[in-house]
Chains A and B, each alone.
Chain A
C-alpha cells in the first residue's frame, strides 16, 4: 500500500492578522487548521447565520475550495527556484474590493484579507465550499484601477483592429464594447492569490493537494481523463526543469505524457545529433508525492515513486538514467535539502 501523499511533507505554519490578534495557520498531515480557532465549525455556523467570520477561517475555507483547483497548478511554482511574489498592492486591491481593511501576514509576505460573506445553503461539512466574497462598496481607487484595466483591454483590442472605426471616428451613443453591470475580478482567482500569498511552503502543499485530487487515488480521478491536457501540462512544466538538471538536456527536449498504469511509469532517452530527447510517462500522483515535497532529483537520481514515508525520511524508487530499472533508496530531509542515507 502506498503511503499518504502528504507523508513526505513536514508541518508548515503561517501567521496572519485576525481582528486585532496575530493568529497561526498550521498545515500538517494534509490538513490546514486555524490553530487559534478551536471551535471553527461553530464559528462557521455563526458566520453563516449572519455573524462575523474570521480571516483565519476564510483562508481555511478557501484552501478546502481550491485543493482540487487546476489553476493552482497553472500559476503555482514549477521548481524550488521558481519564486512567486504576490505584491501587497494586489492583496490590498482584493481586500479593498471586498470591503474590508483587515490585513494578514503569512510567512513574511505582506498580505491582506478580505472579509467574506458566508451563505448558509449547505450542511456544515460543506460550508468551506460556499464562501463567496462580498461584492459591495468598491472604493474609488478600485473603480479607477478597474476602469484603467478595461481601458488597457480596449486599447489592446483596438491595436488588433477590433475598434478601428471607433479609433478613427469615435463612436457616440454606444461604446464599442459595452460592459453590463460592474467589472470585478474573479473571486475564485482572488482567493487563490490569497492562498499563494501564504508563501512557498503553502504553495507547494497546495500544488500537491491539487495533484493528488486528480491522481488515481484522488477525489477527482473520475474526471481526470477530461482534464488530461491540463494535467499533462502541469506534469511537463515541472518535470522539464527537473529532468534538464538530471540529464543536462534542454527543458524543451522533454516530452511528457500522463501515465495511468499500476507501475511507476517510463523514461526513454532518444539521442540524435549530439542532443538527447527525453520521453517520459509519469502518473499525476508523482507531482504530489515526489515533486512537491522537493525530492524530484536526489543525488543525480530521478525519484519516480515513494514506497514509504514519514517525514523527514522516505523510502523511494530512483532511476539513475533513462532505460535503467529503478533502485530503492532511503532519503532524508535536512533543512529542506534531501539527501540519500542508504541504498
Chain B
C-alpha cells in the first residue's frame, strides 16, 4: 500500500512528484507499445531442436556426398563426370549448409569480436572488463532475440524508471520506500496491461524474516545503500593484521597460502585467506581444482591452550586462486594469545591474537558537498576514464550518454541546480569527450577539470602498479550508521583491490569511497564483489588505475551523508600472493 511520505521537505516533495510523473510518462510510452505475449518456450525449443536436426542432416548428407564423390573420382575414369553430376545435385545442399555455417558463425563470432574490441578500446583492465560486460550484455540481448527470445519492449520503460529512482534514492532526493513504491507501482501497472511479464503483478518480498543488510542501486555508481536492519551490536569490532604465508603441496600440486587479517565482530572471528596454485594444472585437468578447494575447507586451528577450532571457508576462486574468509568455530575466547592454523600440505602458520593493531592515522570530518554533487562527480570521473558508465538506461538513440540524461533529470527535479559545480565539471567532461549535451544542460558553462582528475586520466593506461598486499586492519569510526573495517589492500600491476568488512545501519545510507596518494594521484574506488549475512557484509572494492609505484601513502576516504573518514595507509607492500 502506498504510504504517505515520511519526509515532507519541499525538495523531496518536488523530486518525488517528478519521479511519479516520470512513471506516468513511461506508462504512456509503454501503452503505445504492443502487448507482450511470451512465447511458449517448450514449443519454441521443439522447433529449435527440429531445425538443428534438419541442419545436421543437411550437413551429413553433404559430407556423405562429398566423400562419395571424392572416392568415386579416385576409383573410376568416369570420375570427373560423376563428380560434376554430384556437385550439381549437391548445390542446393551446399548452399543450405553454407547458410547453416554462417548462422553458427554469427552466434559464435560476436563475443570474440567484442573481447577484441573491449580489449583494445578500454583504457585499462578494469575499464575493459566493464566495457566488455556492458557490450556482452547488450550483445546477449540481441543474441537472445536472434534465438527467438524477445524481452518485452516496455521493459526499457521500467528499466529507465528503475535507474532514475535508484539515483534519486541514492542521492537522498527520495526515500528508499518511495523508490520501491514508485517502481513497484509502474511494474505492476505494466504487468496488468500485459506490457511485461504478468507475474510482475505480484510484489515479492521476504516473508517472516527481518530485513537484512543488503546492497542495491544502479550498477556502477560508487554508492551502495544498505537496506534496513538492526543497528550495530554492542561492542566495537577489532582487527589484527596477520600477513603470514606458507607453502605446501596438495596431491602433488604446489600450493601457497596467505593469511591476511583477523577480524573480531559480532562475537565471531574471521581470518582472510588466499590460496594460489598453478592455474595451468586446472586447465590441464579440472580435477586438480577440487582437492585444493576441499583442502581449503579442511583448515583448522589450535590455540595456545590446545583447544581446537574448525575454520569454515567462504569465498570463491578459479584460475588457480581461491580467495575468501575462514570463520573460526567456536570463536576463540578472550585470553587466547595465538592460533596455529593447520594448513593442508603446508606447515602451520601462527596467528597472534595479542598483536597490536597498526598505528594508522584516521581522521573524521564533516561532509561539505551534496550527495547529488558527489554522485555526479563520481560518475563523471568514471565517464572520463572509461568512456562508459554502468547506468542501466535503454533508449532508442544508442549514442545518447545516460549520464547526461540522468543529470538533466536531476536538474529538472530540482535535485541539482544549474549552477552546481558538479554540472560544470560534467559539461567539461562532455566537451572533452565531444559529446552533445542535452538541451537542459546546453547552457551550462564548463569549468576546469580538477588536477587530480587529470592525473587519473594520465595514469589510466599504466600497468606498473606494485605487486603485493598490505594487511591494513583499520577499524573506522561509525559513519552514518555503518561501521567498516578496511581489511587489506592487494595490488597488481593493473589495478588494486580493497577488502572491507561492514556492519550495522538501521536505514539506507550512502557510502562513497575514494582514494588519493601522496603523489597527487586520484583513484576510482568501485564496488566489486560482495557477500552479506545478517547485518554484516564483506565487500571488495576495485581501485583503478594501478597504484602509483612512487606513492608512499594512500589516503582512503569513506564519505557518508554527514561524516567523512580518512585513513592514511603507508604503502609498505608485502608478498600477498
**Cβ-closest chain B residue relative to A235:** B24
Q: A90-B198, A157-B216, A160-B392 are in contact. Are A166 and B2 (CB under 8 A)?
A: no
With beta carbons under 8 angstroms apart, the residue of A71, A75, A174, A184 that contacts B314 is A174
Q: How far is the CA of A226 from the CA of B199 in the complex (A)?
A: 31
- In the bound assembly, the distance between CA atoms of A183 and B202 in angstroms comes to 12
- Chain A residues with Cβ below 8 Å from B8 are 225-226
Known A162-B216, A181-B209, A189-B203: A75·B24 in contact at CB below 8 Å: no
Interface segment, one of A8-16, A79-87, A274-282:
A79-87
Check A341 for interface membership: any CB of B closer than 8 A.
no
Assess whether B27 is in contact with A161, with CB atoms less than 8 Å apart.
no
- Return chain A residues, CB-CB under 8 Å to B21: 232-233, 236
What 1/0 mask marks residues of chain B from 506 to 532 whose CB sits below 8 Å from any chain A CB? 000000000000000000000111111
Chain A residues lying within 8 Å of B313, measured Cβ to Cβ, are 172-173
> A172 to B220, Cβ gap below 8 A?
no
- Is the CB–CB distance between B315 and A135 below 8 Å? no
- Cβ contact of A165, chosen from B1, B13, B530, cutoff 8 A: B530
A169 to nearest B CB, angstroms? 3
Contact of A160 with B219 in the complex, beta carbons under 8 Å: yes
Q: How far is the CB of B25 from chain A (nearest CB, A)?
A: 6
Q: Are B199 and A145 closer than 8 Å at their CB atoms?
A: yes
The smallest beta-carbon distance between B28 and chain A, in angstroms, is 6
Q: How near does chain A come to B180, taking the closest CB pair, in angstroms?
A: 11
Q: Once the chains bind, are B208 and A228 in contact (CB under 8 Å)?
A: no
A69 touches B1 (CB 8 A): yes
Partner of A179, one of B209, B220, B315: B209
Chain B: number of interface residues, binned into ranges: 35 or more
For window 10-34 of chain B, which residues contact chain A by CB distance below 8 Å? Answer: 13, 16-17, 19-21, 23-25, 27-28, 31
Interface 0/1 of A251-293, CB less than 8 Å to B: 1100000000000000000000000000000000000000000
Interface bits B170-199 vs A (CB < 8 Å: 1, else 0): 000000000001000110110011100011
What are the residues of chain B within 8 A of A180 when measuring CB–CB?
206, 208-210, 212
Is residue B397 contacting chain A, with contact meaning CB distance below 8 A? no
Report if A300 contacts B (CB, 8 A): no
* A75 CA / B312 CA spacing, docked (Å): 47
**Residue B148, interface by CB 8 Å:** no
A64 and B83 alpha carbons, distance in the complex (Å): 84
Is A176 a contact partner of B531 (Cβ separation < 8 A)? yes
Within 90-143 of B, Cβ neighbours of A (below 8 Å) are at: 130, 133, 137
Closest to B390 in A: A161
Query: Is B324 at the interface (CB under 8 A from chain A)?
Result: yes
* Distance in angstroms between the alpha carbons of A204 and B203 in the assembled complex: 22
**B427-465 interface (Cβ within 8 A of A):** none
* Contact B531–A171 (Cβ < 8 Å): yes
- Interface residue tally for chain A (C-beta within 8 Å): 71
B206 and A169 contact, CB distance less than 8 A: no
**Residue in A90, A170, A177, A190 whose CB lies within 8 Å of B199:** A90
Alpha-carbon separation in the docked complex, A293 to B189 (Å)? 21
Contact of B207 among A70, A150, A184 (CB under 8 A): A184
Contact A193–B204 (Cβ < 8 Å): no
Residues of A within 8 Å of B207, CB to CB, are: 135, 181-184
Tell me the minimal C-beta distance from B136 to chain A in angstroms: 10
B266 within 8 A of A: no
B218 at the interface (CB under 8 A from A): yes
Q: Let me know if B198 and A233 touch, CB within 8 A.
A: no
Within 8 Å by CB of A178, from B188, B202, B533, lies B533
Q: Is A86 a contact of B192 with CB atoms below 8 Å?
A: yes
A96 to chain B, nearest CB (A): 12
Q: Confirm or deny: B214 has a beta carbon within 8 angstroms of a beta carbon on chain A.
A: yes
For the complex, give the distance between the alpha carbons of A187 and B474 in Å: 44
CA of A182 to CA of B203, assembled, Å: 14
Whether B201 pairs with A86 at a CB distance below 8 angstroms is: yes
Nearest CB in chain B: distance from A74 CB, A:
3
The answer on a CB contact under 8 Å between B214 and A177 is yes
A298 within 8 A of B: no
Q: Is B205 an interface residue (CB 8 A)?
A: yes
Q: Is B215 an interface residue (CB 8 A)?
A: yes
Is B318 interfacial (CB-CB < 8 Å)?
A: yes
CA distance A227 to B392 in the complex (A): 29
Chain B residue nearest to A69 (CB atoms) is B1
Is A188 close to B, CB under 8 A? yes
A162 touches B533 (CB 8 A): no
Taking a contact as CB atoms closer than 8 A, the residue among A150, A168, A252 that contacts B318 in the complex is: A168
| Contact (Cβ within 8 A) A229 B17 | yes
Contacts of A310 in B (CB 8 A): none
Cβ of B4 under 8 Å from chain A: yes
Q: Is the CB of A184 within 8 A of B137?
A: no
A-side contacts of B194, CB under 8 Å: 85
In this assembly, does B53 line the interface, its C-beta being within 8 Å of a C-beta of chain A? no
Please name the residue on chain A nearest to B141 by beta carbon: A159
Residue of A nearest to B219 (CB): A160
Give the chain A neighbours of B192 by CB distance below 8 A: 75, 84-86, 196
Docked pose: A149 CA to B293 CA in angstroms:
31
Contact A228–B218 (Cβ < 8 Å) = no
Determine if A178 and B532 form an interchain contact, defined as CB atoms under 8 angstroms apart: yes
CB pair B189 A75 closer than 8 Å: yes
Of the candidates B1, B5, B23, the one whose C-beta lies within 8 Å of that of A226 is B5
Q: Which of A157, A189, A223 has the most CB of B within 10 A?
A: A189
Interface residue A78 (Cβ < 8 Å from any Cβ of B): yes
Is the C-beta of B478 less than 8 angstroms from some C-beta in chain A? no
Question: Does B317 sit within 8 A of A, measured CB to CB?
Answer: yes
Instruction: Verify if B316 is at the interface (C-beta below 8 Å from A).
Output: yes
Q: Are A169 and B317 in contact (CB under 8 A)?
A: yes
B contact residues around A160 at 8 Å (CB): 218-220, 390, 392
The residue from B2, B214, B529 contacting A230, defined by CB atoms under 8 A apart: B2
Residues of B with C-beta under 8 A to A159: 137, 219, 392
Quick one: which of A17-35 are within 8 Å of B by CB? none
Q: Which of A75, A94, A150, A170 contacts B316 (CB 8 A)?
A: A170
- Verify if A107 is at the interface (C-beta below 8 Å from B): no
- Per the 8 Å Cβ criterion, residues 215-254 of A in contact with B are 223, 225-230, 232-233, 236-237, 240-241, 251-252
Is A324 among interface residues, defined by CB-CB distance under 8 A? no
Known contacts A160-B220, A184-B207; decide if A93 and B199 are in contact (CB<8 Å): yes
- B5 / chain A contacts, CB cutoff of 8 Å: 226-227, 229
Q: Mark B28-47, 1 if CB is under 8 A from A, else 0.
A: 10010000000000000000
Whole-angstrom distance between the Cβ of B7 and the nearest chain A Cβ: 9
Residues A85 and B193 in contact, CB atoms below 8 Å apart: yes
Give chain A residues whose Cβ lies under 8 Å from the Cβ of B323.
Answer: 169
Is the Cβ of B24 less than 8 Å from the Cβ of A240?
yes
Report A-chain residues with C-beta under 8 Å of the C-beta of B216. Answer: 157, 162
Known interface pairs A180-B210, A184-B205. Does A175 touch B531 (Cβ–Cβ under 8 Å)? Answer: yes
Taken together as a complex, chains A and B put the C-alpha atoms of A173 and B313 apart, in Å, by 7
Instruction: Name A65-115 residues within 8 Å CB distance of B.
Output: 66, 69-71, 74-75, 78, 82-87, 89-90, 93-94
Instruction: List residues of chain B with CB within 8 A of the CB of A4.
Output: none
Measured between C-beta atoms, what is the minimum distance from A93 to chain B in Å? 7
| Distance to closest chain A CB from B133 (angstroms) | 7
Is B480 positioned at the interface, with any CB of A under 8 Å from its CB? no
> Given A74-B23, A186-B202, 4 more contacts at CB 8 Å?
A160-B218, A173-B314, A229-B19, A251-B28
28 A/B residue pairs, CB under 8 Å, sorted by A:
A71-B188, A75-B188, A75-B192, A90-B198, A90-B201, A93-B199, A159-B392, A164-B133, A169-B323, A170-B318, A171-B315, A172-B315, A173-B315, A176-B530, A177-B532, A181-B208, A181-B209, A183-B204, A184-B206, A189-B202, A228-B17, A229-B20, A230-B4, A236-B24, A237-B24, A237-B27, A240-B28, A252-B25
Q: Nearest 6 CB-CB pairs, A to B?
A: A165-B529, A173-B314, A160-B219, A181-B209, A180-B209, A74-B185
Chain A residues near B (Cβ < 8 Å):
66, 69-71, 74-75, 78, 82-87, 89-90, 93-94, 135, 145-146, 149-150, 153, 157, 159-166, 168-186, 188-190, 193, 196, 223, 225-230, 232-233, 236-237, 240-241, 251-252
